[in-house]
Amino acid sequence: MNKNSLKMIDLFAGAGGLSEGLSEAGFHSLFASEIVPVYAQTYKKNHPNTIVHTADIRELDANEIRNKLHIERGELDLIAGGPPCQGFSINAPIRSTLDERNHLFKEYLRFVDAFAPRAILIENVPGLVSFEHGATLHAILDALAELGYGADVRILGAPNYGVPQMRWRTIILGVRGRTLPAGAYPAPIYHAPIHANFTSTFNGQSIIQIPSPEANANFTTVHEAIGDLPPLASGEHGEKVKEYHCDAYCNYQRRSRTGSIGVINHEAPRLSPINLKRLEFIKPGGNWTDIPNELLPKGMQRAKKSDHTKRYGRVLPNGLASTIMTKCDPHWGAFFHYEQNRSFTVREAARLQSFPDYFIFTGNMSEQFAQVGNAVPPLLAKAVGLSLKSILETED
């Protein structure tokens, strides 16, 4: 660890996407808490110098952890994390304050109280803004204010920061003892074809970061993200570590390959015979409406052509991927490769999330997909981390 790096802890850490991006920005994670063992195993594998605690955060003594880390109150630079987002999500079937996951942010605040870090970062889904008509978000900001933090909220579009997929995240930033400075959130680097389909105002103001006219128009495409990975047939696994298909031909691929020994976590899920037959009819950019009616699932044979536009989708090589989910199941999204007759591999999903190739996922294939889909895109986390780092270094 660089002695000049900023010190942080990561709560609700998952596989470590947030920590990965923040580490690229100059933060070092001393401690991470994650309740799911295989997620924690992946985190530890990729952050071997971090103490990773696999436990329910409600059972952890924050002051005891601070003492074990030999950190004085007020000395830590950052507490980062994202309480489980399912209860907040605009896509959840029931969004209720009775869902105990909606109150886990209080555990995060308990650690903030114990450590009194210089800065805080909370990430969540866009639905947090509208949940309970904004009451939960107001409660978080009010609680942070009571702890002495000037905090604010923005919704950031991942492709505006170089991530090649349609993904939005709500980011709360706060600094101890003063108002969050203007320009605390990173300016979008790229224009990208994404549109908000959720509430994007809070306290009567838009909280989406919009690219300036000077921002680069050349967002990262799917082909740039995964075009150098070796081709596979449906169900093909091959060697555990594979060679790249070709030389890197764009900066995104060069960044992805840095420090990598080859292509890992790149095995193709096996599609059923009926899905392989359906796939023959789907063109790049197409979806289930390209499939002959008699080959469709019974439930979709009566669906409107304007509905479910991502189902059985084959991505456009020069476009963005749809949001990478915890299952890259073609029945639920556009997860077919643009030219190979198969669905995405874990490594392709990770590339579309902006994970570097040296980042290794543990567990079985379904567990690996879940880790990737639940993660914060590291490139987005890096952009936020660099912005926070600038604020903290200005204080020194």
Q: Are 277 and 295 in contact (CB under 8 A)?
A: yes
The pLDDT of residue 42: 98
The pLDDT of residue 46: 97
Q: What is the mean pLDDT of residues 324-335?
A: 89
Catalytic residue among 85, 246, 250, 328: 85
**CB-based contacts of 335, cutoff 8 Å, min separation 6:** 313, 315, 322, 328, 329, 343, 344
Q: What is the mean pLDDT of residues 326-335?
A: 88
Q: How confident is the model at residue 177 (pLDDT cuts 50, 70, 90)?
A: very high
The pLDDT of residue 87: 44
Is position 250 annotated as part of the catalytic site? Answer: no
The pLDDT of residue 84: 61
Distance separating alpha carbons of residues 75 and 37, to the nearest angstrom: 29
Which pTM value belongs to this model? 0.92
The pLDDT of residue 329: 87
Q: What percent of the chain has pLDDT over 70?
A: 94
Query: How high does pLDDT run on average in the chain?
Result: 91
Distance separating alpha carbons of residues 58 and 110, to the nearest angstrom: 10
Q: How confident is the model at residue 26 (pLDDT cuts 50, 70, 90)?
A: very high
Which backbone phi and psi does 254 adopt, to 5 degrees?
A: -65, -40
The pLDDT of residue 130: 85
pLDDT in tens, 224-244: 999 999 999 999 999 999 999
Q: What is the mean pLDDT of residues 16-43?
A: 97
Three-state SS for 51?
strand
Residue 270 has pLDDT above 90, yes or no: yes
Q: What is the mean pLDDT of residues 111-128?
A: 94
Distance separating alpha carbons of residues 339 and 225, to the nearest angstrom: 14
Residue 292 has pLDDT above 70, yes or no: yes
The pLDDT of residue 371: 97
Distance separating alpha carbons of residues 71 and 7, to the nearest angstrom: 10
Whose CA is closest to 152, among 161, 140, 135? 140
Q: What is the dihedral of CA 40, 43, 49, 52, to 10 degrees?
A: -20
Distance separating alpha carbons of residues 297 and 335, to the nearest angstrom: 17
pLDDT in tens, 57-102: 999 999 999 999 999 999 999 999 987 643 433 444 444 555 555 5
The distance between the two most distant Cα atoms of the chain, rounded to a whole number of Å, is 67
The pLDDT of residue 297: 87
Can you identify the CATH homologous superfamily of domain 6-216+377-395? Vaccinia Virus protein VP39 (3.40.50.150)
Element (H, E) at 111: helix 105-115
Residue 306 has pLDDT above 50, yes or no: yes
Three-state SS for 97?
coil
Strand runs (DSSP E) across 109-163, as ranges? 119-124, 149-157
Distance separating alpha carbons of residues 21 and 97, to the nearest angstrom: 31
Distance separating alpha carbons of residues 174 and 126, to the nearest angstrom: 18
Distance separating alpha carbons of residues 358 and 349, to the nearest angstrom: 14
